[in-house]
Amino acid sequence: MDSSAKNTILKAYLEKTGLKSTAQRDFIAETFFKTNTHISLDELLKKVKRKNSRIGYATVYRTMKLLSECGLALARQFGDGQTRYENLPDDGHHDHIICIKCSKIAEFQNQKIEQLQIEAAKKLGFTVVNHKLELYGYCPDCA
């Protein structure tokens, strides 16, 4: 999904819930859509402030909550105490591996694992809709 499609969704959500479209919201959303990491609110705020230093962090918090509600951002907790936001993946699902020492996060995809998950679920009579897989360990630098 490209940025303009996301904007359409956002606008529709705002309208549906009786919220207003504002320059700050648009700019924060736009900035977030351009990221490709698991960005923390702190980091996003910094990015936003670079262009518009008058935007307060409460607005960034509020906007990300909004994006999360309308499905345009995924909120994740990796155990370092901060919520991190991720864009919808363009290229299908991926999982995470997190360094328990330095908190570095890497991503990986493995079709075989996905397949085995579906099979394991099937054995129990379940149908899988979604999943969350996080590996915790040491990154190359901290090993």
Partner DNA sequence: AATGAAGATGAAAATCATTATCATAATCTA
Partner DNA sequence: TAGATTATGATAATGATTTTCATCTTCATT
Residues that bind DNA (CB under 7 A): 14, 18-25, 40-42, 54-59, 61-63, 65, 81-83
Cβ-based nearer residue to its own copies, 55 or 72: 72
Q: Residue type at 103?
A: S
> Around Cβ 49, how many Cβ atoms within 10 Å?
14
Whole-angstrom distance, CA of residue 76 vs CA of residue 84: 5
> Around Cβ 57, how many Cβ atoms within 10 Å?
14
Pick the piece of the chain touching its own copies (CB under 8 A) from 11-19, 26-34, 40-48, 106-114. 106-114
Pick the piece of the chain touching its own copies (CB under 8 A) from 5-13, 16-24, 42-50, 94-102. 94-102
> Checking DSSP bridges between strand 105-108 and strand 73-77, what pairing results, if any?
unpaired
Q: Which of residues 23-42 bind its own copies (CB under 8 A)?
A: none
Contact between 92 and its own copies per CB under 8 A: no
